[in-house]
Amino acid sequence: MTRSILVVDDSLSVRQMIATTLKSAGYDVATAVDGQDALDISRTRSFDAIITDQNMPRLDGLGFCQAFRARPANLGVPIVFLSTETAAAIKDKARAAGAIGWMVKPFDQQKLLSVIGKVVGT
């Protein structure tokens, strides 16, 4: 069964790099340009995991995570942050909002695939 991943980042090049990495491993990938776009997309289809940036226009990663988790149907969907942010305080806020992991950009493709494989159980 193909697992579906939603990639949320305001950088086109980062979205493309993540999507290419995941697609090469057989994942079905959808992309969103920011947290608000991700919320809109997640209302129309379900995902097995979400990778999100923190700093984005309109709705940042924390805001997205909190709004996404507010819907009971989304409680079990793993959310992993992929951000340039490294401060412990923001990671704690992400964890409190329902994120299960935090990776720092630039990302290592094999590490990304390993993390996603673990969270979706492949």
pLDDT in tens, 5-61: 999 999 999 999 999 999 999 999 999 999 999 999 999 999 999 999 999 999 999
What are the two backbone dihedrals, phi and then psi, of residue 29, each rounded to the nearest 5 degrees? -120, 130
3-state secondary structure labels for all residues of 22-72 = HHHCCCEEEEECCHHHHHHHHCCCCCCEEEECCCCCCCCHHHHHHHHHCCH
Judge whether residue 121 has pLDDT over 90: no
Distance CA 7, CA 59 (A): 14
Contact 77, 49 (CB under 8 A): yes
The rounded distance, in Å, linking the Cα atoms of 72 and 61 is 19
pTM, rounded to two decimals: 0.96
Residue 81's φ and ψ, nearest 5 degrees, are -85, 140
| Per-residue pLDDT tens digits for 25-41 | 999 999 999 999 999 99
- Whether the per-residue pLDDT at 118 is higher than 90: the answer is yes
Peptide bond into 72 cis (omega under 30): no
